[in-house]
């Protein structure tokens, strides 16, 4: 049995060392790993983390929020049990053995550490204390179960119950989203008392009144709505596919570089002779005339020369460290007269995409964090000329935030 302790952190230079040292010195009945997710800290947090060798560190280049950090930690974790530990010393790591005990004994699937089950805890702000009581009452009305501390930072659960689930919250809303997920799916949930030492805003407290109001809204939202995917991201993907299809010859052999789950190729299977897709996250599969390979593409495409009629790169070119080499490879695998179709965001689209992903729940932030390039029209045309692609069409769309270019192998 392995315990994964996820520590989301943002600008916690005053308390981070103490928290990590306490976790490393903690005596536990199971093996553990510590995963610290630095959410774009601008203080001395990165330097402090570099001093610890027995932890795993994930660093986001920009600050997105606690929810995104927790989700990154869950994806990285290898443990059978996941526990979330804040880095602000409001929660005492000495409570962890009592938190994981009900899971180890088989009493529960989920354990919440409740600040309100321990009478000697102190609270800095009465308004937050009252808000938590109201949240508890509101959650009981909506879900029929009393959770004494809905917004507790100490949540512990078996990793298998969340491993393949989709969560959308990027900020403090993750506390509510996890709670509603556990309640709606009727997992066995146990609450244990924990110690708590609230800090002031001067000491670095980040929760605001707006976060509290948002919690009430999310309790209602997730009661009647279960997010399955990033809606706007799926919409953009469909629009790119529609634009590409009009340039793909009938009964052609198509290579989709960065195909994701292969959805686009599967949607056009009746239109083409054969489809081959590559993606680092895809599940390898072969069905009728569609073949998807899980493979990391860096500088080469593993196909013979002149083996394809069409190459498509839908919102993937901006992710490559070596985009020119990938386009050169696309030229190599195309037959003479073959078509290349590319969509990629413009420099103007950078700010909009970052807003939609970092500040809303419409686009997966991890996709935008991986963007390495934003090509201008002039840059794309120059690359095409250098590779001897003749340009069939170039067009910007979505109010100039996106663009596509179509070329033919000379």
CATH code: domain of residue 284: 3.40.50.150
Residue 204 has pLDDT above 70, yes or no: no
Phi, psi of 141 (to 5 degrees): -65, -40
299 shares a domain with 157: no
Last-in-domain residue among 172, 195, 224: 224
Both 7 and 124 in a single domain? yes
Domain's final residue, options 224, 253, 269: 224
Selection from 39, 40, 49, 58 nearest residue 15 by Cα: 49
Q: Are residues 325 and 299 in the same domain?
A: yes
Query: To which residue do tokens 């000697």 refer?
Result: 120
Q: Which residue has the higher pLDDT, 123 or 284?
A: 284
What is the C-alpha to C-alpha distance for residues 243 and 201, in angstroms, rounded to an integer? 50
169 pLDDT more than 80: yes
Distance, in Å, from the CA atom of 284 to the CA atom of 278, rounded to the nearest integer, reads 9
CA dist., res. 407 & res. 341, Å (int): 7
Residue 202 belongs to domain with CATH number: 3.90.550.10
Residues 355 and 212 in one domain: no
168, 241: one domain: no
Per-residue pLDDT of 300-336, as tens digits, reads 999 999 999 999 999 999 999 999 999 999 999 999 9
220-234, 327-341, 363-377, 390-404: segment of lowest average pLDDT: 220-234
Cα dihedral sign, 375-378-380-386: negative
pTM check: above 0.85? no
Judgement on whether residues 57 and 110 belong to the same structural domain of the protein: yes
Beta bridge partners of 312: 256, 341
Classify 390 as helix, strand or coil: strand
Find the mean pLDDT for residues 291-304: 93
Per-residue confidence (pLDDT) for residue 146, from 0 to 100: 87
The domain boundary, picked from 198, 224, 250, lies at 224
One domain, residues 351 and 216: no
Q: Please answer whether residues 60 and 45 qualify as being in contact, where contact means their C-beta atoms are separated by less than 8 angstroms.
A: no
Longest CA span, the chain: 78
Q: Which residue has the higher pLDDT, 202 or 110?
A: 110
* Residues 359-368 pLDDT 10s: 877 888 888 9
Let me know whether 211 and 359 are in one domain. no
- What is the total count of domains within the chain? 2
**134 and 277 part of one domain:** no
- pLDDT category, 407, cuts 50, 70, 90? very high
* Same structural domain, 195 and 252: no
pLDDT digits (tens, 9 = 90+) for 99-138: 999 999 999 999 999 988 887 776 666 777 787 788 888 8
Instruction: Give the pLDDT score at 316.
Output: 95
Domain containing residue 117: 2-224
Contact 131, 212 (CB under 8 A): yes
Residue-wise pLDDT tens digits, 54-89: 999 999 988 999 999 999 999 999 999 999 999 988
d(CA 5, CA 194): 17
Percent of the chain with pLDDT over 90: 69
Confidence of residue 207 (pLDDT cuts 50, 70, 90): low
Confidence of residue 232 (pLDDT cuts 50, 70, 90): confident
Work out the pLDDT band at 202, boundaries 50, 70, 90.
low
Mean of the per-residue pLDDT values of the chain: 91
Q: Are residues 257 and 369 in the same domain?
A: yes
Please tell me the total number of residues recorded for the chain in this structure: 410
Same domain? For 339 and 216 the reply is: no
Render pLDDT for 5-60 as a digit per residue (tens, 0 to 9): 999 999 999 999 999 999 999 999 999 999 999 999 999 999 999 999 999 999 99
Averaged pLDDT for residues 234-247: 90
Tell me if residue 213 falls in helix, strand or coil.
helix
- Banded model confidence at residue 170, pLDDT cuts 50, 70, 90: confident
């Amino acid at each position: 049995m392995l315990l994964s302790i996820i520590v989301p952190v943002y600008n916690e230079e005053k308390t981070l060392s103490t928290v990590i040292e306490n976790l490393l010195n903690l005596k536990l009945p199971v093996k553990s790993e510590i995963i610290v997710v630095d959410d774009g800290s601008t203080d001395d947090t990165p330097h402090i983390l570099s001093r610890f060798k027995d932890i795993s560190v994930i660093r986001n280049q920009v600050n997105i929020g606690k929810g995104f950090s927790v989700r990154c930690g869950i994806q990285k974790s290898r443990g059978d049990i996941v526990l979330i530990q804040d880095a602000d010393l409001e929660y005492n790591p000495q409570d962890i053995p009592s938190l994981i005990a009900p899971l180890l004994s088989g009493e529960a699937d989920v354990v919440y550490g409740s600040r309100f089950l321990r009478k000697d805890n102190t609270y800095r702000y009465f308004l937050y204390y009252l808000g938590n009581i109201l949240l508890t009452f509101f959650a009981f009305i909506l879900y029929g179960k009393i959770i004494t501390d809905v917004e507790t930072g100490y949540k512990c659960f078996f990793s298998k119950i969340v491993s393949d689930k989709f969560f959308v919250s990027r900020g403090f809303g993750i506390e509510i989203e996890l709670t509603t997920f556990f309640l709606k799916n009727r997992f066995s949930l146990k609450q244990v008392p924990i110690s708590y030492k609230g800090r002031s805003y001067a000491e670095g407290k980040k929760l605001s009144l707006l976060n509290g109001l948002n919690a009430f809204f999310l309790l209602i939202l997730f009661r009647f709505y279960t997010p399955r995917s990033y809606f706007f991201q799926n919409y953009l993907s469909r629009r790119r596919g529609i634009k590409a299809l009009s340039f793909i010859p009938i009964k052609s052999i198509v290579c989709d570089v960065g195909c994701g789950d292969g959805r686009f190729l599967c949607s056009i299977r009746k239109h083409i002779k054969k489809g081959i897709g590559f993606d680092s996250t895809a599940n390898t599969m072969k069905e009728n005339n569609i073949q998807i390979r899980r493979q990391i593409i860096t500088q080469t495409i593993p196909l013979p020369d002149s083996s394809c009629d069409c190459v498509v790169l839908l919102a993937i070119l901006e992710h490559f460290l070596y985009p020119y080499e990938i386009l050169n490879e696309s030229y190599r695998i195309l037959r003479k007269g073959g078509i290349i179709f590319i969509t990629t965001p413009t420099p103007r689209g950078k700010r909009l995409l970052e807003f939609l992903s970092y500040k809303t729940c419409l686009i997966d932030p991890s996709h935008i964090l991986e963007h390495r390039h934003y090509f201008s029209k002039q840059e794309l045309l120059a690359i095409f000329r250098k590779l001897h692609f003749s340009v069939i069409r170039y067009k910007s769309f979505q109010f100039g935030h996106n663009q596509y270019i179509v070329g033919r192998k000379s």
